[in-house]
Amino acid sequence: MLVNIENLLRENIKRLTPYSSARDEFKGEASILLDANENAFGSPLPTNYNRYPDPLQGRLKTKISQVKGVPPEHIFIGNGSDEAIDLLFRAFCRPGVDNIIIVPPTYGMYEVSANINDVLIKRVPLTSDFQLDLNGIAEAIDEYSKIIFICSPNNPTGNAINRSDIETLLNNFNGIVVVDEAYINFARQRSFTQELAEYNNLVILQTLSKAWGLAGLRIGMAFAASDIIHVFNKIKPPYNINEASQTLALQALENVDEINTWIKTTVAEREKLAASLSTLPFVQHLYPSEANFILVKMTAPKAVYNYLVELGIIVRDRSSVILCEGCLRITVGTPTENQQLLNALSGYVSVNKEQGNTI
């Protein structure tokens, strides 16, 4: 369906005159820049950062466009994908009036961003096999529902959401469907990025924080129809991606081969780790993963968590999350780290055996 994006926007956003920076007003080659109150001498660093960065990250977008096969006008770059999530709320959701739909267990930032923006959250839990409850979602939708957030592969469960179910939402929901593909590099399922021409209500989130190994640079991407990208550009902070991040990300994106090798190793290690974990007597279930982590159900998650902490190994306790009762989420590390984790878990078994505890 063709969604009227203009109608979905908040009135104040439609009317907004965006900030116009010095570098927005002058484009082209200049030899003397006396327009932005910068320090003309340079920076007290080996590399100069005295100039404001490109507000629209032209060079970085061109590179991302080549790597992802998405035209630059369909790309927004945010200070982490978390910035794109926040901008979606600010663009489309009227505080205290509109609502969004999330499908727990899922990534926590959708909920936090909704709360920051005073937007009501409707929760439609995933089914027991961690897929969408399409009837439940249909029932939850009302005239104030603006955004549905789907994470695929899903954090913290690790599985991919059925593609045809996401397509059903895209075809039937008169609002924005966000598909968060933070873990797409590890998945068998293909990205939705080639579907952008098909759906003008689709927003795909990806990030350089996971497979690309650049979590510290804070670079997230949103891919969407150019109308939506235009809105993001209008409301984002003018210089949202700093110069160092833009330069370093550009450099990193030249190394696709290295990243692909790491992805292959991570996927192989994930399968190896899963096989070893499944032999541990206290592990009750391993959820199949298409991401770089595994959700593991066990008899006493908190005891295992604390045991690992004592040894300096930190995993994520998800045992109090809906449908994840009894579960820890374990990120796949280097082969050495994974082996150390397994050694520690064997140690946990031995210690309990010696003490005569049943685990």
To the nearest whole angstrom, how small is the minimum distance from the Cβ of residue 289 to ligand PLP? 13
CB of 107 to ligand PLP, least distance (A): 4
* Least distance from ligand PLP to the Cβ atom of residue 197, Å: 24
Please state, in angstroms and rounded to a whole number, the distance separating the CA atoms of residues 173 and 160: 20
Give whichever of 210 and 236 is closer to ligand PLP, judged by the CB atom: 210
Show Cβ contacts of residue 288 under 8 Å, excluding neighbours closer than 6 positions. 158, 159
Report which residue's Cβ sits closest to ligand PLP: 80
- Residue showing tokens 């780290």: 337
Nearer to ligand PLP, 81 or 200 (CB): 81
Nearest Cα to 166, choosing from 80, 103, 241?
103
Binding mask 119-158 for ligand PLP (x = CB under 6 A): --------------------------------x---x---
Q: How far apart are CA 118 and CA 112, in angstroms?
A: 10
Q: Spell out where the chain has E strands.
A: 75-78, 99-102, 120-123, 145-151, 176-180, 202-207, 220-224, 283-286, 293-298, 316-317, 327-331
Stretch that binds ligand PLP, among 20-28, 47-55, 75-83, 193-201 (CB under 6 A): 75-83
Nearer to ligand PLP, 110 or 305 (CB): 110
CB 49 within 8 A of CB 38: no
Applying CB under 6 A, among 57, 81, 185, 245 the residue interacting with ligand PLP is 81
Q: Is 195 helix (H, G, I), strand (E, B) or coil?
A: helix
Residue selected from 52, 61, 74, 80 as contacting ligand PLP according to rule CB under 6 A: 80
Mutual angle of helices 256-277 and 335-354, in 10-degree steps: 20
> In this complex, which beta carbon is closest to ligand PLP, that of residue 94 or of residue 123?
123
In terms of CB distance, is 280 or 296 closer to ligand PLP?
296
The bridge status of strand 99-102 relative to strand 120-123 is: parallel
* C-alpha Rg value of the chain to the nearest Å: 23
Q: How far is the CB of 27 from ligand PLP (least distance, A)?
A: 28
Please identify which residue in 220, 295, 321, 341 interacts with ligand PLP, judged by CB under 6 A: 220
Say whether residue 82 binds ligand PLP (CB under 6 A).
yes
3-class SS string, 105-145:
CCCCHHHHHHHHCCCEEEECCCCCCCCCCHHHHHHHCCCCE
Quick check: 209 binds ligand PLP (CB under 6 A)?
A: yes
Site string for ligand PLP, 182-201 (x = CB under 6 A): x-------------------
Q: Using alpha carbons only, what angle is made at residue 220 by residues 216 and 222, rounded to the nearest 5 degrees?
A: 180
Is 290 a residue that touches ligand PLP (CB under 6 A)?
A: no
Between 267 and 345, CB nearer to ligand PLP: 267
Number of chain residues interacting with ligand PLP (CB under 6 A): 13
DSSP, residue by residue, 323-349 = T-TTEEEEE---HHHHHHHHHHHHHHH
215 vs 275, beta carbon nearer ligand PLP: 215
Site for ligand PLP, rule CB under 6 A: 80-82, 107, 151, 155, 180, 182, 207, 209-210, 215, 220
